[in-house]
Amino acid sequence: MKYYLAPMEGITGYIYRSALKDHFGDNIDKFFTPFLVVHEKRALSNKEINEILPENNKGINLVPQILADDADGFLRIDNSLYEYGYREINLNLGCPSKTVASKGRGSGFLGRLSDLEYFLDKIFNNNMCNISIKTRMGEKSVDEFEELMRIFNKFPLKELIIHPRIRYEYYKGNPHRDVFYRYIVKSLNPVCYNGDVRSKRDVEELLKGCGNNLFAIMIGRGMISDPSLIRQLTGGEAFTKEELSVFLKRISDDYSSVFSGEAPVLQKMKELWSYMGSCFADKEPEVKKLLKCRSLKELKLYQMQILQ
């Protein structure tokens, strides 16, 4: 089984990815960038170039992700990424956020079937990089997935990553794993599962439902909560507090070297702790204080109390 780190805008940028790779990443087969968007005048913004620069992603098998509903814009980024040395890119058909989906992109594109088919026809006839797709099962109902699967099967996808929720479910409730099990056998492309994988037991359950048909598993929140999760799923040990402490220092130092002032660093570290707190049920009061603290000095103090 292959294991991937899911893209998470604001969290799994190059600083986090590099630290994860160096400290817990031996068995992470692929990393994905948070989505890059199509710009009118140039292929990529400076921030996006930083995100994909090979020197910022050393030793990482990275797949840049693109959010687009305009084939020419998508192909401009495809060309530019090819020049940077990339050979695989990912199309985001899953983002449920209102600002994205209401413009008909991300999961909003799933409700525009003929436009989507036209778009895919055009990009698959002119692409430089191989293309994978990360999708939800529909906008309003999982029944929409029948037709979506017919469309996806028309194209030679590098892989089809399925998050078995619909647009309006955001990340809430349980993923529709039963529906996923029904459809995995219908895919002509390799399938990757994504959604609420947090433990070995989750993977075992998934494998029971999929048999030999599953190619890969992508994990987001489970990995931010416990960066050693994929290591554990591939036979390794859970994190030690010392390891986590060194990992977090690396991230905090790297953010401090690129941001001016400590406020943005503090915000990033708190965001990580809003996920990691779940691994420290016995330190709930300290985690709560950390999430409310106002300086990096305070954050480090509570972090020490949590990790001692």
Ligand X SMILES: Cc1cc2nc3c(=O)[nH]c(=O)nc-3n(C[C@H](O)[C@H](O)[C@H](O)COP(=O)(O)O)c2cc1C
**Interacting residues toward ligand X by CB under 6 A:** 6-11, 34-35, 65, 92, 94-95, 134, 163, 171, 194-197, 219-222
CB-nearer residue toward ligand X: 219 or 233: 219
CB-nearer residue toward ligand X: 221 or 300: 221
Bridge-based pairing of strands 191-194 and 214-219 is: parallel
Residue 76 neighbours by CB under 8 Å, 6+ apart: 38, 43
Closest distance to ligand X from the beta carbon of 217 (Å): 9
**Residue showing tokens 């994978």:** 132
Closest distance to ligand X from the beta carbon of 11 (Å): 6
Closest distance to ligand X from the beta carbon of 308 (Å): 29
CB-nearer residue toward ligand X: 70 or 125: 70
Closest distance to ligand X from the beta carbon of 163 (Å): 5
CB-nearer residue toward ligand X: 9 or 147: 9
Closest distance to ligand X from the beta carbon of 114 (Å): 23
CB-nearer residue toward ligand X: 21 or 163: 163
CB-nearer residue toward ligand X: 175 or 239: 175
Residue 255 neighbours by CB under 8 Å, 6+ apart: 15, 264, 265, 268, 269
Closest distance to ligand X from the beta carbon of 219 (Å): 5
Residue 270: CB atoms within 10 Å: 14
